[in-house]
Every structure is written in C-alpha cells, then in structure tokens.
C-alpha cells in the first residue's frame, strides 16, 4: 500500500505542513511515518529526529524490528 511521493501535493504540504500518520511501529522508540497528503515517508530515529526514509534507514528499521520481536518472544 506504499504510494508514490507526489511533488505537486508536497507544495501544499510545504505551505500548511505535513500530516504524518504512523505506518509502521518498528519498536517502542522508532516509527515509520507517512504523510496522508503527499505520501512522503519519514522515520523517527532513536534520538527522536525525523529523517527521510531511504533504503538504508528502511533496512535498519527492518533489522531492529526483527531483533525486537525475537527479544519479546524470548521473554515469554
């Protein structure tokens, strides 16, 4: 369900601001977000900064999610 980033709609977002919704909860501290209007994807780092979601951050988030799930399964 990942939609393409729309530069034309991003113009509207640059004027009124993005409306981000959580698209993926990686773990308790890291989230992937997507703008409802222009579909720009961002991620929140462990330091609380918003950075654009690129291949590098997507791979890091995927691995962190895998490690977090395995850790939670081991606790049960």
Q: 9 and 37 in contact (C-beta within 8 Å)?
A: yes
Q: What is the pTM assigned to this prediction? A: 0.75
How high is the mean pLDDT in each 10-residue block of the chain (76 residues)? 66 83 89 89 88 93 93 85
CA end-to-end span of the chain: 32
- What pLDDT, on the 0 to 100 scale, is given for residue 3? 63
- What pLDDT, on the 0 to 100 scale, is given for residue 1? 43
- What pLDDT, on the 0 to 100 scale, is given for residue 59? 94
Tell me, what DSSP letter sits at residue 9?
H
Backbone angles phi, psi at 27, to 5 degrees: -150, -160
């Amino acid at each position: 369900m990942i939609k393409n980033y729309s530069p034309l709609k991003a113009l509207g977002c640059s004027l009124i601001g993005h409306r981000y919704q959580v698209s993926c909860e990686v773990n308790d501290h890291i989230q992937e977000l997507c703008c409802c209007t222009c579909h720009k994807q961002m991620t929140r780092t462990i330091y609380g900064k918003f950075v654009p979601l690129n291949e590098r951050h997507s791979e890091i988030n995927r691995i962190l999610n895998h490690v977090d799930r395995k850790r939670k399964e081991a606790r049960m």
